[in-house]
């Protein structure tokens, strides 16, 4: 595969967006390791990362296949690899199968429960691609697809699940779902003509922005509950304050009559949120109150 083709594939799956979910998964792994009293091994961290990349690559490619006819008609997405013909649908299917296999192999390398749950994870990830066709709440399904990553990482370390991980899953679900609501504001007119569903289409852009804001407020509250439930120290609370500040800034960039700063709000700010969350909460696992 040539360098240009590799670049096209990475663009198709938006590889750089892996930064959104991976830090939250690593926090789940660190919290699980804290309960065991020892750090995750490098082998565990490696296979968790491989599993995350495989899952996300499979999900994104499946989404591009499922949405091909819509992407071709939408001016915002018409330049993507499949609508332009830079990659074939056949290639996309093969890539999806390979990425799915990578997830299953990584889960097999982690523990039996992770392996058993990997097909279910793929079903959920693929199901999201079709939700915009019948529900306005697809943003929550997308959020949940990324929200399960901390629980998956916990299972990868512990071989079981702690109910407290559901708090972090809910927080990530609302975080991702909220910024997906923001992003969907760009496609309201197209969704109307294409017969697709979204919160901005259902409620209008102004109300959609308020819904996204409410989702992110609840997210911050859930993070506080999680920090309290694990009795984490000051770095966790400082991290929550940083996340809340960045979310406030993100929402200040997007207005009902001005979506011109959407890319800054969606890509840049959310990237900082996930990385800084990992930094502060990673530190908290070392200085947590016993």
Using one digit for the tens of pLDDT, what is the confidence trace for 54-99? Answer: 999 999 999 999 999 999 999 988 898 899 888 899 999 999 999 9
pTM metric for this prediction: 0.92
Q: Helices H, strands E: what count in the chain?
A: 15, 0
Side-chain-side CA neighbours of residue 126 (13 Å): 14
pLDDT digits (tens, 9 = 90+) for 205-250: 999 999 999 999 999 999 999 999 999 999 999 999 999 999 999 9
Cα-only R_g, the chain: 19
> What pLDDT is recorded for position 285?
86
pLDDT digits (tens, 9 = 90+) for 109-142: 999 999 999 999 999 999 999 999 999 999 999 9
Average pLDDT, integer, range 6-30: 79
Mean pLDDT across the chain, nearest whole number? 91
Are 61 and 12 in contact by the 8 Å Cβ rule? The answer is yes
> What pLDDT is recorded for position 225?
97
3-state SS of 43-102? Answer: HHHHHHHHHHHHHHHHHHHHHHHHCHHHHHHCCCCCCCHHHHCCCCHHHHHHHHHHHHHH
Phi, psi angles (nearest 5°) of residue 258: -155, 100
Average pLDDT, integer, range 157-185: 94
What's the CATH architecture for 3-287? Orthogonal Bundle (1.10)
Domain boundaries, the chain: 3-287
Are 269 and 253 in contact by the 8 Å Cβ rule? The answer is yes
Are 198 and 211 in contact by the 8 Å Cβ rule? The answer is no
Are 185 and 254 in contact by the 8 Å Cβ rule? The answer is yes
For residue 37, is pLDDT > 80? no
3-class state of residue 258 by DSSP: strand
Residue where the block lists tokens 């066709």: 133
Q: Which residues of 15-25 are buried (b: 16+ CB within 10 A; e: fewer)?
A: bebbbbbbbbb
Strands (E), the chain: none
215 vs 173: CA distance, rounded Å = 9
């Amino acid at each position: 595969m040539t360098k240009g083709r590799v670049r096209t594939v990475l663009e198709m799956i938006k590889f750089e967006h892996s930064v959104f979910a991976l830090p939250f998964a690593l926090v789940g792994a660190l919290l699980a390791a804290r309960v065991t009293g020892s750090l995750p091994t490098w082998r565990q961290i490696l296979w968790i990362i491989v599993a995350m990349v495989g899952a996300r690559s499979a999900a994104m490619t499946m989404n591009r296949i499922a949405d091909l006819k819509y992407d071709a008609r939408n001016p915002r997405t018409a330049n993507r690899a499949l609508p332009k013909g830079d990659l074939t649908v056949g290639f996309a299917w093969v890539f999806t199968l390979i990425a799915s296999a990578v997830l299953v192999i990584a889960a097999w390398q982690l523990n039996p429960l992770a392996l058993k749950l990997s097909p279910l994870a793929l079903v959920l990830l693929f199901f999201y691609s079709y939700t915009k066709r019948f529900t306005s709440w697809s943003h929550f399904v997308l959020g949940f697809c990324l929200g399960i990553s901390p629980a998956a990482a916990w299972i990868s370390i512990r071989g079981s699940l702690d109910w407290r991980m559901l708090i972090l899953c809910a927080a990530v679900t609302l975080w991702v779902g909220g910024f997906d609501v923001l992003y969907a504001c760009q496609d309201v007119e197209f969704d109307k003509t294409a017969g697709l569903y979204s919160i901005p289409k259902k409620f209008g852009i102004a109300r959609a922005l308020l819904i996204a804001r409410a989702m992110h407020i609840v997210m911050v509250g859930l993070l506080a509950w999680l920090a309290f439930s694990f009795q984490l120290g000051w770095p966790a609370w400082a991290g929550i304050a940083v996340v809340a500040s960045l979310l406030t800034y993100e929402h200040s960039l997007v207005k009902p009559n001005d979506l011109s700063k959407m890319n800054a709000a969606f890509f840049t700010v959310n990237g900082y949120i996930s990385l800084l969350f990992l930094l502060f909460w990673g530190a908290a696992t070392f200085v947590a109150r016993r």
